[in-house]
Amino acid sequence: MTVGPDFKEPARYRPDLVIGRDELFTAAQDQLARGGSVLLHGPAGIGKSTVLRALAADYGEAARTVLRCSATESESHLPFLALADLFGLVLDEISDKLPAAQRTALESALTGRGESTLQRDGLALRLAVLSALRALAAEGPVLLVADDLQWLDSASAELLGFAARRLGDTPVQLLCAVRTEDQEYDRHLRASPPDTLAVRLNPLSRAQVSALLDHRGYTDLPRSTVREIHRTSGGNPLFALELGRALGESPTPPRPGEPLPVPTSLRALVLSRLDMLSDEARRTLLVASAGARPTLALLHASGRENAEAETAQAAALGLLATESEGPAVRFAHPLISAALYAEAPAQERRAAHAALSTAASDPIERARNLALATTGTDPEVAARLAEAAALARDRGAPSVAASLGLLAARHTPPDGAPGPDEHRLRAAEDAITAGEVDLGRDIAREVLTRATVPADRIRAWEVVIEAAGQALGDVDAVFPQALADAGDDPRLLALVHYHLAWRKLIVEGDFSEARQEAAHAAELAARGDDRRTELMALSFQSSTETLMGHPNAPATIKRALKEPQDPYVACHHNGVGAARFRWLMMSDQLPEARSTITTLLREVRRRGMVESEVHFQRFLAETELRSGHCGRALDLARESLRLARDSGIGLGASAMLTSLAEASGGDVDRALALAREAAERAEEDGDQMYLSRALAALGHARFVAGDAAGAVASLRRVRELETGLRITDPARGRWHGDLAEALVRVGEPGEAQDVIDVAREHALRLGRESVLAVLDRAEALVRAALGDHEAALSRLTSVQDRLAKLGYGLEEARAAFALARLRTERPGPTSYDEAARLFRRCRAMPWLRQVDAAIAAGAPETITLPQQTAPPSDALEGLASMERQVAALVMEGATNREIAARLFISVKTVEATLTRVYRKLGIRSRVDIVRLAAGRHAK
């Protein structure tokens, strides 16, 4: 039974829409499944009610009775109101089960008749609430859902606290939310059952705020604006949505240096406290809000003589942080600073900036404040801003440089030299470097509306193309216009043909044509004495030749490495350093590859080159993965993906690599999801090059999951794509061994041998030793499938040794595992020791679980038959990751204790997880899970 009528939650509260709360949501679900209670707490607007309702909707079905109340501040003075909300509709059901005195006291409190009070009927009321909950629980589990506990009337709070502390083993659970600041939830926790889990909701990350805004329809906001929303909101979902709404309703977006429009709904949260400040204290806080890093010394230098007393007054009102963290003056929440600044008249803002333009010690800050204090054009101000932008660029802060460049353009007279558009173009290029592609593209498009100089137009077209990322098909119309603007100037033509080379590769998937375009671009750049473009074109040409297995690749790399070099190209993700890294990786020189990419990553971070950082972080993860350092690779890959999601750059590539890392050292279900995401993104972008990589990752994840047929389907498509792309180097994707082994498992050893033979021919030609070793491992399994076990065992022993010498730790462990599985004698507990040791050294958890499963099976694998070590994905559709893992182990026959040991969780957690699995699958027991699996296999 559910109480009351409005409990059915709308779709927006479904658990899959609780953005950025996955881990805490799962923890709360597990706590409820174990029979415990949950107390959600955090500041106003942080999303407590959303999570509360999602949990109630998800878990409420398991309870027979759901009691619900939601208090408000305006009603908190009314005694017993929350009690009436909770028990009003069930009073008839339980009243005859209560002793007469308790029934009378409770009815009086709920109906308002008889003027019941805690003073007069205290004991009877307390016992009545406890008895009522026990009576309801006697018929089935009870869930009590209470939102905004801080507004609960004191009488109801006292009665519920009394009962909660005495429920014991009675199946009554509390799911509550309370508004708190910092960790001030102890009082509410003391009034909860002893087993209550306190869950604090923390601010959302920038990527989570972006996802939230997208979900609510604010999809056209530039990433720079989203970044500012995140900063101003402090990661608070309510504040972020209100700021997004205000921007959506604003006819013009704020210009650089201008504050976000703070809606009245948010200003009201802080303006009442601001009104309590003296006028002088308010002016002091305005100066602090206008400064980038305000300190007491800066406020004094800006003419605020009584800064100490005035900031102390603000701190007492909760406007400034009170903890001592050095000399900084810090607002208690960024929204306070934004609201204060937005509320101030324009004249007062300019006065604050004017004071800071002379008081600030940093030249960048002085220039920025000078610009914001000045109206109209001013060549001297523009020059100061241009100098500050150059300084910010040198400091590795291209985002700041872009903002300063736009301010410089605003203050440059139309006939200035350099002109306004020169500043805008430089700002657009800085924005691209900083990963703010939306801002860079918008600036470039604006310049193109009026620019007539060919060089300016080509620079603008370059920004537009760069902003498209992998989706070059979206800007197809740009290339004819850019070629027309370039005319017969070899420098300008070189730039256009360099980007045409990328289009040939990504959109058309033609490596040969892409290589020729890159070579032509390098020739044009050399003729036009443009060394930077020449080096970029040579780097692209060498990378393409490397992936093709072209014999000229080493010579082209040497040309790209010749002096003079360009520092920008040397560390660019498409530059010569990256090309050399790819060559080292494909040539099995892992230590040198790691050293190279580590140096490059350090340099691009120093320069603030966000796109290059995303790619180099991924490259470093790939290096660690090849070396068998799966835990380290997983950490790096996840960080690369986080950065990619945050910046909107390289998402498909990062998802692809993270899928490989998850399949090797993390969660196989997550690996499958990421590989599908990468493939879908590549297909949406029309990116032929990364589509094959994403499908290879999907095939690998399916193989690790035990879905050999699915792996074959994915990897056959990879083979078709790469044949069409004329990619012949098997070290590019390293999928051939997985395909061959999967083919053996599905009973196709002949096709497996064909895959091995073709790949081996190219690997021998190119000297790819690690690829040859992996192919030999796959061929050993082919031979075993054909009955030649002795030859298979001999070859696997050799392969393991070769891979160990090359430094491919995970591949070495896989060879040891294959060797153990092919022993002709019945394996005992120790026959898998070597494989387990090597997988453990690699932190390859999915593979370790396969070893455990093989040991538990207690018999050698019959590899001539298709085998599936994990349940089909459709049998477990809709289950969470932990639920799928537990269900899979149940299907293998593992006991709850064995499952707990393998997954490093408690037996109670296993039991609670199984309870959720039964509910979601509509079954009753472990036997039903096994039957479900058997039914799926029979199809």
**φ and ψ at 327, to 5 degrees?**
-85, -5
Lowest mean pLDDT among 51-65, 213-227, 381-395, 601-615: 213-227
pLDDT of residue 8: 34
With a pLDDT cut of 90, the percent of the chain lying above it is 44
User: Which residues partner with 176 through β-bridges?
Assistant: 39, 146
**φ and ψ at 319, to 5 degrees?**
-85, -30
Angle at Cα 930 formed by Cα 927 and Cα 931, nearest 5°?
Answer: 85
Q: Are the C-beta atoms of residues 132 and 94 closer than 8 Å to each other? A: yes
- The answer to whether residue 859 scores a pLDDT higher than 50 is no
Cβ neighbour number for residue 676 with a 10 Å cutoff: 17
**φ and ψ at 824, to 5 degrees?**
-75, -30
Confidence category of residue 3, pLDDT binned at 50, 70, 90: very low
pLDDT of residue 406: 94
Q: Are the C-beta atoms of residues 673 and 876 closer than 8 Å to each other? A: no
Q: What is the pLDDT of residues 255-270, one digit of tens each?
A: 655 677 788 777 777 7
pLDDT of residue 256: 59
Helix (H, G, I), strand (E, B) or coil at 68: strand
Tell me what the mean pLDDT of segment 679-701 comes to: 88
- Calculate the alpha carbon distances from 608 to 231, 366, 395, 439, 612 in Å: 19, 22, 8, 16, 9
821/818 Cα distance (integer angstroms): 5
What is the strand order of the sheet 172-179 is part of? 65-70, 142-147, 172-179, 38-42, 197-200
Q: 């470097």: which residue's tokens?
A: 433
- The answer to whether residue 552 scores a pLDDT higher than 60 is yes
Task: Report CA Rg, the chain.
Answer: 33
- Calculate the alpha carbon distances from 60 to 8, 132, 144 in Å: 10, 19, 9
306/304 Cα distance (integer angstroms): 6
pLDDT of residue 901: 62
- The answer to whether residue 738 scores a pLDDT higher than 70 is yes
Lowest mean pLDDT among 137-141, 389-393, 538-542: 137-141
Confidence category of residue 778, pLDDT binned at 50, 70, 90: very high
- Calculate the alpha carbon distances from 371 to 407, 427, 433, 559, 594 in Å: 7, 16, 24, 46, 45
- The answer to whether residue 708 scores a pLDDT higher than 80 is yes
Look up the pTM and report it. 0.72
Higher pLDDT: 652 or 925? It is 652
351/154 Cα distance (integer angstroms): 49
- The answer to whether residue 819 scores a pLDDT higher than 70 is yes
Q: Which residues 6+ apart lie within 8 Å of 276 measured at CB?
A: 317
- The answer to whether residue 386 scores a pLDDT higher than 90 is yes
pLDDT of residue 937: 41
Q: Which residues 6+ apart lie within 8 Å of 524 measured at CB?
A: 490, 491, 493, 494, 497
pLDDT of residue 11: 34
With a pLDDT cut of 70, the percent of the chain lying above it is 89
- How far does Cα 71 stand from its chain's mean position? 35
Confidence category of residue 678, pLDDT binned at 50, 70, 90: very high
- The answer to whether residue 103 scores a pLDDT higher than 80 is yes
- How far does Cα 243 stand from its chain's mean position? 22
DSSP result, 732-745? TT--HHHHHHHHHH
767: DSSP letter: T
Q: 């009321």: which residue's tokens?
A: 125
Confidence category of residue 220, pLDDT binned at 50, 70, 90: confident
pLDDT of residue 906: 66
787: DSSP letter: T
pLDDT of residue 877: 59
822: DSSP letter: T
- The answer to whether residue 864 scores a pLDDT higher than 70 is no
Q: What is the pLDDT of residues 154-163, one digit of tens each?
A: 888 888 888 8
Q: Kindly tell me the burial class for residue 523, based on how many C-beta atoms sit within 10 Å of its own C-beta (0-12, 13-18, 19 or more).
A: middle
Tell me what the mean pLDDT of segment 70-97 comes to: 83
Cβ neighbour number for residue 484 with a 10 Å cutoff: 11
Q: What is the pLDDT of residues 879-936, one digit of tens each?
A: 766 677 778 777 766 677 767 666 656 666 777 778 777 777 777 666 667 566 555 4
Confidence category of residue 540, pLDDT binned at 50, 70, 90: very high
pLDDT of residue 187: 67
Strands 65-70 and 38-42: unpaired
Tokens of 393: 């660029």
- The answer to whether residue 277 scores a pLDDT higher than 80 is yes
Confidence category of residue 337, pLDDT binned at 50, 70, 90: confident
- The answer to whether residue 866 scores a pLDDT higher than 60 is no
Tell me what the mean pLDDT of segment 28-52 comes to: 88
Higher pLDDT: 481 or 150? It is 481
Tell me what the mean pLDDT of segment 228-248 comes to: 85
Three-state SS annotation for 142-175: EEEEEECHHHCCHHHHHHHHHHHCCCCCCCEEEE
Tokens of 289: 């809000």
- The answer to whether residue 464 scores a pLDDT higher than 80 is yes
67: DSSP letter: E
Lowest mean pLDDT among 39-48, 483-492, 589-598, 758-767: 39-48
pLDDT of residue 364: 93
Higher pLDDT: 542 or 869? It is 542
- The answer to whether residue 865 scores a pLDDT higher than 50 is no
pLDDT of residue 881: 63
Confidence category of residue 825, pLDDT binned at 50, 70, 90: very low
Confidence category of residue 17, pLDDT binned at 50, 70, 90: low
pLDDT of residue 13: 38
